[in-house]
Structure 1
Amino acid sequence: MLKKQDYRFSVAPMMDWTDRHCRAFHRVLTKRALLWTEMVTADAVIHGDRARILGYGPEEHPVVLQLGGSDPVKLAQAARIAEDFGYDEVNLNCGCPSDRVQSGSFGACLMAEPDVVAECVFAMRGAVSIPVSVKNRIAIDDLPARETLFTFVDKVSAAGCSVFTVHARAAWLKGLSPKENREVPPLDYGLVAQLKRARPDLAIILNGGITTLDQCTEHLGTFDGVMIGRAAYQTPELLGSVDARLFGAAESVSAPQAIRAYEPYIAARLSEGASLHSMTRHMLGLFAGQPGARQWRRILSEQAPRKGAGLEVLRAALAAVEENLPAG
């Protein structure tokens, strides 16, 4: 069972990015971060290839499965399957603004349907013993932010949800792309802070616009946890300092240390038929801004996709970087 401390730092769920290989890589950088899957629809969990969709390694714990949907019966069934697979928590997505999600009547559009979300959470809670959490926006479109957020959280928490990860932006469902929805609507950390002060019994995790561990430390003075998305993915080396900076671990993990720790995982997946590129694509941001970073990206981008590429490519890329790193 997850404890309050486990929510202190999370890596956000990101479609096409936070797959099993990505999570295994992030785990060698940080043992304490809470890792999340990509969003998976309840229908996919129920009817799809579960081993492919839900498969993960024991090294990934603690790990959250994020579900998309708005049918309480299906979500309860999917949550039960997630629990059987050993996930530490199941989360309901109420924040994604993509057209595909809207057409399925879930994601951010559920911010206008708190009674539906409450019904879904109640059903999921009744089906599993693991925690059920919600990830949401502060509002959508022209709905008043404070009233929308507080009403949503009050109704959903009354159904048994005690953990909310709040992306501190409204979502504009018409006129903005998903990328623009992550950047254009203004951040309102103050409103989320008001929610935390008004609902101290709830765990409130802040998401949106956080890019550095200094910012994380500052926000942890107000919130129960912080969640970083693209910054953690595009510059994964920052994850190597999470355990030391935010959890009191003795040492940070360097990028070379993480690469070598990831090698056994890569070797195991290669032996199962996975491609090297499917794993190294998550590592391209290592060494960003450092000497040798260009060589690192070039070698992995050009050679990892080749048929039969193996660990020798990764080792050659690391050697090219280490030639440029300052001594000592």
Structure 2
Amino acid sequence: MSQPALQNIMTHKRLSIAPMIDWTTTDYRFFARLFNPHTYLYTEMISTGAILHGNTDRLLRFDSSEHPLVLQLGGADISEMTQCAIEAQKRGFDEVNINVGCPSDRVQHNKIGACLMAEPDTVASLVRHMQAEIDIPVTVKHRIGIDEYDSYQFMKDFVEASAEAGCQRFIVHARIAWLKGLSPKENREIPPLRYEDVYRLKQEMPELQIEINGGIDSVEQIKTHLQQVDGVMIGRAAYHNPYLLAEAMQLWGEHPPSREQILEQLYPYLEQQVTNGEPLTSIARHLLGLFQGLPGARKWRQALSGKQQLTVAEIKAAGDATLKLIESSKQQD
């Protein structure tokens, strides 16, 4: 597919970064935004209980540069989910997403996440009540099935119920979740990917926006999937190698920013976080993949890891040293 065609397609399609607990914090999202202004960013999955009874301001804080930004909610109680959706709109989120994909034992115990696929009427009720109270979209992220409920028809029936309730966008992790016997990590790797089921869903329900997720780690794979569905969601690949997001700028017919440009925009943010009292050691963990696959990447990671304290000057020195190593390597080639 030619680049002009892809550029035209991206005006109607979406590239997004998956919600990842402990990873897609506001600090990571700010960093990710520097690579690509077009991607949709997601918060971590945040439970309704945490929002309603915890430190709401801290949980829902974000930088204005993060837009478009989606709040992913974990919950099953209609009143609580609706209250949180209203709060999301009030605080300026662009979309609210219902988590129907997380397979962890803790999430199952609270009757949220992937186990809700077995209760399509519950999810449909959440969509209906939430959407009635807010103007921003309510979307659903789910698996292609759970446990013995692994047929294509089961997934389609689930989607149809929420679509009738008003949901127009579904983000489909193209693996089933085995809720008994596998850890969350194993559930991201062991059940086989069935991309064809997601493609078929789009073919049979063309009026819906269908986005695909699972095992996607290159721009070429993104291009392939975009020929079949309306969007691609990438997860750990975008965290461990965030420059993938910059390389994806070609989908919009644009040039990627350099790593040097990214660092120049990052430093003022880090200075501001220090002023706000945030420890740089907790922020630096999100920056480790910046030079993934390049000379000096290991030294960069070592400079930012395992320290009790870290300064912006130290991060800048490590960045300058790594950029020099990369430039020197280019000249030798």
Match of 1:223 among 226, 229, 232: 229
3-state DSSP class of the match of 1:137?
strand
1:82 matched residue in structure 2: 88
1:275 matched residue in structure 2: 279
Runs of 4+ in 1 over 6 A off after TM superposition: none
1:144 matches 2:146: no
2:317 matched residue in structure 1: 316
Q: Using the alignment, how far apart are the partners of 1:205 and 1:18 within structure 2?
A: 19
Q: Is the 8 A contact 1:240 1:252 kept in 2?
A: yes
Q: Using the alignment, how far apart are the partners of 2:111 and 2:209 within structure 1?
A: 26
State the identity as a percent. Answer: 47
TM-score, length basis structure 1: 0.95
Q: Is the 8 A contact 1:21 1:278 kept in 2?
A: no
TM-score, length basis structure 2: 0.94
Give the gaps of 5 or more residues in structure 2.
1-9
3-state DSSP class of the match of 1:40?
strand
2:5 matched residue in structure 1: none
Q: Using the alignment, how far apart are the partners of 1:90 and 1:133 within structure 2?
A: 6
Q: Using the alignment, how far apart are the partners of 1:168 and 1:105 within structure 2?
A: 22
Q: 1:45 to 1:7 in 2, by over 3 A?
A: farther
Range moving further from structure 2, 309-318 or 147-156: 309-318
2:103 matched residue in structure 1: 97
Pairs within 5 Å for 1:15-30: 15-30=21-36
3-state DSSP class of the match of 1:233?
helix
3-state DSSP class of the match of 2:44?
strand
Match of 2:303 among 293, 299, 302: 299
How big is each residue's C-alpha offset from its partner over 1:5-46, in whole Å with a ceiling of 9 and x where there is no partner?
475100100000000000000011110000000000112112
How big is each residue's C-alpha offset from its partner over 1:167-215, in whole Å with a ceiling of 9 and x where there is no partner?
0000000000000000000000001111000000100000001010110
1:161 matched residue in structure 2: 167
Match of 2:48 among 42, 45, 48: 42
How big is each residue's C-alpha offset from its partner over 1:66-92, in whole Å with a ceiling of 9 and x where there is no partner?
000111111011100000000000000
Q: Is the 8 A contact 1:237 1:254 kept in 2?
A: no
How big is each residue's C-alpha offset from its partner over 1:75-113, in whole Å with a ceiling of 9 and x where there is no partner?
011100000000000000000000010000010001110
Pairs within 5 Å for 1:173-192: 173-192=179-198
Q: Is the 8 A contact 2:267 2:316 kept in 1?
A: no
Q: Using the alignment, how far apart are the partners of 2:12 and 2:115 within structure 1?
A: 28
Q: 1:7 to 1:46 in 2, by over 3 A?
A: farther
1:257 matches 2:261: yes
1:134 matched residue in structure 2: 140
Match of 2:293 among 289, 292, 309: 289
Range moving further from structure 2, 273-282 or 166-175: 273-282
1:242 matches 2:248: yes
Q: Using the alignment, how far apart are the partners of 1:113 and 1:212 within structure 2?
A: 34
Task: Please state how far the C-alpha of 1:135 moved relative to its aligned partner.
Answer: 0.1
Q: 1:72 to 1:7 in 2, by over 3 A?
A: farther
Q: Is the 8 A contact 1:145 1:170 kept in 2?
A: no
Write the letter of the residue equivalent to 1:85: R
Match of 1:123 among 99, 120, 129: 129
Q: Using the alignment, how far apart are the partners of 2:69 and 2:150 within structure 1?
A: 33
Q: Using the alignment, how far apart are the partners of 1:135 and 1:5 within structure 2?
A: 22
Q: Is the 8 A contact 2:246 2:257 kept in 1?
A: yes
Q: Using the alignment, how far apart are the partners of 1:323 and 1:265 within structure 2?
A: 23
3-state DSSP class of the match of 1:169?
strand
Q: Using the alignment, how far apart are the partners of 2:260 and 2:185 within structure 1?
A: 31
CA RMSD of aligned residues (A): 1.3
Give the gaps of 5 or more residues in structure 1.
none
Q: Is the 8 A contact 2:150 2:176 kept in 1?
A: no
Counting matched residue pairs gives: 320
Q: Using the alignment, how far apart are the partners of 2:69 and 2:323 within structure 1?
A: 32
Write the letter of the residue equivalent to 2:252: F
Q: Using the alignment, how far apart are the partners of 1:185 and 1:105 within structure 2?
A: 22
How big is each residue's C-alpha offset from its partner over 1:235-285, in whole Å with a ceiling of 9 and x where there is no partner?
111111222x22222x11122221111111111111010011222111111
Match of 1:69 among 64, 68, 75: 75
